[in-house]
Structure formats: C-alpha cells, structure tokens
C-alpha cells in the first residue's frame, strides 16, 4: 500500500505543475471541446509512459548526458516557439464551438500535440529520472511495488488531465470570442516564456561541453 500512496502523491504533484502542457490542455478543451482535450491527455499519458519505460530500464544516464540535454533543450525550445507563435497569430473563430470536419485528423493532431509538448519538456524528463532513482533507492520495493508506484502516478496524471479537460469544456458556454482571443494570447505568452527558458537551459548545458 505504501507504493500506491506514494505513487498517488507524486501523481498529484506532477498534475498541478503549471507548465505549457497545462495551459495548452485548458485552451484546447475550451476551444475545441472535451474530446480534443481527451486525446491531448492521452498524448501526454503516452509520452509519460515512454519516459517511465526508458528511465526505469536504466537509460537515465543517457538522458543525463550534457550533449543530449543541449539537443533536447534547443529542440524543445523550437517546438514551443512554433506552438506559441501559432497560438499568438491564429485568428479566433466567431464561435467557440468545436468544428466537426476532419475529426480523425484532429484527434491525431491533438494526441501528437500532447505527446510533443510533454515529451520535449526536460523538466518532465527530470521528474521521471528522479522517480526512477527513488525506486532504486527503496530497496524494500518489490517488482510489483515498483509497478504499482509508476502505474499510480500515470493513472492519477491521466485522470486529472481528463478532469481538467472536462471542467474546461464546461466553461465553454461562458467563453466569448474576445475572451478566447485573450486566452490564446495568454497561452502563447506562456509557451514563448517556456521556449526562452528551454533555450537558456540548452545554452547553459552547451557551456558545460566547451
């Protein structure tokens, strides 16, 4: 039970992190509806699961490599910069109701957006590396305890992301095009700030290589 309780606690800790993924999930759910937010949440869940697998399988030393940090930082900063500029320059539709055309393509797009925004964030990666280190330190954890620990974190994060998307969807009827425009700009600014932060993170890592 200790593994379950600790996993739930760590999952709640990660789920309240106010990063670019949080703001993008809220914006996407308000603008495009609950299903769009749901597929974005599954994208986030998939990238988290991938990180759990590679870190626990002993690849955390590879991710701690300075060169990899430089590449990840610049790539992540570039992707956030693109998403930020798109959100900033994208015109607001006269209605905030989700569009019904090309539903399958939009589901894949939202899934990939969640996967990429979460996957290229080095701070999310550092969280999972720390979790992998934590379970290695806990020598009394059995293989089943480790599974329960990570599964609890992943399930809690997924459920809270789905809850965020649902609550954001409930607010949609109160959102005007003008308010949506403001929200788009807020999200854009957040993404651009994190983009600059990642570029700085990459720059600092690059200096260690020189």
Task: Report the predicted TM-score, pTM, of the whole model to 2 decimal places.
Answer: 0.72
Give the CA angle between residues 159, 148, 58 to the nearest 5°.
105
Whether 30 and 180 have beta carbons less than 8 Å apart is answered as yes
Q: What is residue 130's predicted lDDT score, i.e. its pLDDT? A: 74
Number of domains comprising the chain: 1
- The size of the chain, in residues, is 210
pLDDT tens, per residue, the chain with 210 residues: 788 988 898 888 778 776 778 888 888 888 888 888 999 999 999 999 998 888 777 655 555 566 766 776 787 778 778 777 876 776 655 444 444 444 556 888 899 989 988 887 777 777 787 777 677 666 677 888 888 999 999 999 999 999 988 988 887 777 666 766 777 787 778 778 877 877 887 787 777 776
Cα–Cα nearest to 24, from 114, 157, 123: 114
Range of the domain at 194: 2-12+20-209
Q: What is residue 41's predicted lDDT score, i.e. its pLDDT? A: 94
């Amino acid at each position: 039970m200790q593994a379950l309780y600790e996993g739930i606690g760590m999952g709640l800790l990660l789920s309240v992190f106010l990063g670019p993924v949080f703001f993008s999930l809220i914006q996407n759910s308000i603008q495009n509806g609950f299903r769009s937010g749901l597929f974005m949440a599954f994208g986030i869940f998939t990238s988290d699961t991938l990180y759990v697998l590679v870190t626990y399988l002993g690849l955390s030393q590879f991710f701690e490599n300075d060169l990899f940090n430089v590449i990840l930082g610049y790539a992540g900063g570039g992707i956030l910069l693109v998403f930020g500029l798109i959100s900033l320059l994208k015109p607001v539709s006269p209605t905030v109701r989700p569009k019904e055309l090309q539903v399958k393509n939009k589901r894949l797009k939202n899934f990939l957006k969640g996967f990429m925004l979460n996957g290229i964030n080095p701070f999310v990666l550092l969280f999972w590396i720390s979790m992998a280190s934590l379970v290695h330190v806990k020598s009394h954890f059995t293989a089943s305890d480790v599974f329960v620990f990570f599964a609890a974190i992943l399930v809690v994060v997924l459920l809270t992301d789905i809850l965020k998307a649902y609550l954001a969807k409930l607010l949609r009827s109160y959102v005007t095009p003008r308010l949506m425009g403001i929200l788009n700009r807020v999200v854009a600014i957040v993404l651009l700030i994190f983009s600059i932060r990642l570029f700085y993170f990459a720059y600092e890592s690059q200096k260690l290589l020189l």
